[in-house]
């Protein structure tokens, strides 16, 4: 069975991470997920010898007004490198921050204050010791009247499965014209380092993943530095968000084949269990693709009796439910369909298993574990859940609003995980 039009976003409201701003510390990573190096003299990169003359241009322009509180200090340098960036408010208080890894700008650790004056001073040097210092003063805008909120699905006190994407959802649509600016303010670092890209599945959702599932034991740190960021249609980001995700030390993966009506369960790439299933009947088929466990409910009620357009309405108590889509597809116990499991599809779109098998899966899995379903009458729609893995890497890259570095584009020859018949041992250290 599936739950339709009932608490579709209820789980979302429960797991939205509404957190305090992340203090941005010196770190390194990939260009598509902007990262930072220190701008202090002791940690500044040594100037390289260059035939170019030393030049420096700084933004915002002198005396600029009504700047967003997300303003960065732009630095365009030839013939040298940035040595220091100092930003102070009108009272002389220092603003902390760090340079982007590509040296294009200096990013404050926290949003600036509304309606305040600031002064930024940048010092650059060449290999011969010549320096240039430039300053600029600017004033931030007043508080905006229209804001867009953002929810980050990630909590530090939880372990997640290897397919857990970084998911941000917005309270108002973000138009295409604003997405690059928003994306540049979404910062991700992973330990151990792994490549990744942001991709827009809709105007309300953007997700981050790499070309492969996360390595087991990975720590993911996220700062969505969105307060004051122009979000389009006269709206601005309401506040910064932060989150930390800890990926499980075990890789759990489920694979369902509609042709056989069987689920294979893998732990660390080893087959540990095969169990019969019943999927959605032809009028209410299950969605094919690589889906991700989004929520887990020991007991719940599926209720579609308030849907006047549904002639097949029902209300039923459910055990061991694991949500896979916003549309209401779950893995769950279905003792009423045991006689059909492994033989024919009778559900409203869910993955039906016996109570014993549902309990086994419920105790084994975590939010973020992948399940690949193949051979059904329909494919999962973008944004109907955390669908980042239901497309190939090449397709996922097309959803980015920023240029893709060549080294990341080159990784696109691998198929989506859903296209692989059997998980293969990872060649990456775990």
For 301: left if phi > 0, alpha if psi spans -120 to 50, otherwise beta; the answer is: beta
How many whole angstroms separate alpha carbon 35 and alpha carbon 102?
Answer: 8
Count of beta carbons in the 10 Å neighbourhood of residue 83: 18
How many whole angstroms separate alpha carbon 213 and alpha carbon 2?
Answer: 27
Element (H, E) at 407: helix 406-409
Residues 6+ apart with CB under 8 A from 283: none
Q: Is residue 35 exposed (0-12), middle (13-18) or buried (19+ Cβ within 10 Å)?
A: buried
Count of residues in the chain: 430
How many whole angstroms separate alpha carbon 177 and alpha carbon 171?
Answer: 17
Number of H helices, E strands in the chain: 5, 31
Selected catalytic residue, list 27, 332, 340, 348 = 332
- The 3-state DSSP composition of the chain as helix, strand, coil percent (nearest 5) reads 10, 40, 50
Q: Which two tokens stand for residue 256?
A: 């369902």
Could you give the 3-state DSSP secondary structure of residue 15? Answer: helix
The angle subtended at Cα 265 by Cα 155 and Cα 197, nearest 5°, is 45
DSSP letter assigned to residue 143: P
Q: Is 340 a catalytic residue?
A: no
Q: Is 332 a catalytic residue?
A: yes
Nearest to 24, CA basis, from 86, 82, 88, 99: 99
Please identify every residue annotated as catalytic.
Answer: 332, 350
């Amino acid at each position: 069975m599936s739950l339709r039009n009932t608490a579709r976003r209820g789980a979302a409201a429960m797991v939205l991470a509404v957190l305090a701003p992340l203090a941005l510390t010196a770190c390194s990573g990939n260009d598509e997920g902007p990262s930072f190096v220190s701008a202090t003299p002791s940690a500044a990169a040594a100037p390289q010898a260059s035939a170019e003359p030393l030049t420096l241009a700084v933004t915002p322009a002198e005396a600029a007004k009504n700047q967003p509180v997300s303003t960065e200090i732009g630095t365009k340098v030839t013939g040298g490198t940035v040595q220091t960036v100092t930003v102070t408010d009108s009272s002389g208080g220092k603003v902390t921050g760090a340079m982007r890894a590509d040296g294009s700008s200096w990013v404050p650790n926290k949003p600036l204050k509304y309606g305040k004056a600031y002064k930024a001073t940048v010092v650059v040097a060449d290999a011969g010791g010549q320096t240039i210092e430039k300053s600029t003063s600017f004033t931030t805008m007043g508080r905006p009247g229209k804001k867009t909120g953002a929810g980050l699905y990630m909590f530090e006190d939880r372990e997640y499965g290897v397919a857990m994407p970084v998911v941000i959802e917005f309270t108002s649509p973000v138009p295409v014209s604003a997405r690059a600016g928003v994306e540049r303010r979404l910062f991700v670092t992973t330990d151990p380092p792994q490549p990744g890209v942001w991709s827009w599945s809709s105007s309300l959702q953007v997700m981050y993943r790499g070309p492969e599932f996360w390595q087991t034991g990975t720590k993911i740190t996220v700062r969505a530095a969105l307060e004051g960021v122009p979000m389009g249609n006269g709206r601005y980001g309401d506040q910064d968000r932060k989150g930390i995700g800890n990926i499980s030390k075990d890789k759990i993966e489920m694979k369902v084949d509609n042709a056989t009506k069987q689920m294979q369960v893998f732990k660390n790439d080893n087959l540990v269990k095969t169990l019969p299933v019943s999927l959605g009947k032809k009028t209410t088929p299950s969605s094919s693709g690589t889906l991700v466990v989004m929520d887990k409910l020991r007991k719940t009620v599926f209720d579609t009796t308030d849907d006047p357009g549904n002639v097949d309405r029902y209300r039923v108590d459910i055990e061991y439910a694991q949500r896979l889509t916003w549309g209401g597809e779950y893995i769950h116990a279905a003792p009423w369909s045991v006689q059909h499991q492994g033989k024919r599809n009778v559900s409203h779109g869910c993955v039906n298993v016996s109570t014993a098998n549902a309990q086994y899966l419920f105790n084994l899995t975590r939010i973020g574990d992948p399940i690949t379903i193949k051979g059904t009458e329909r494919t999962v729609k973008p944004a109907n859940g955390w669908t980042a893995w239901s497309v190939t890497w090449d397709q996922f890259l097309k959803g980015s609003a920023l240029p893709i570095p060549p080294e990341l584009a080159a990784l696109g020859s691998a198929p989506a995980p859903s296209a692989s018949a059997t998980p293969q041992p990872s060649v990456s250290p775990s």
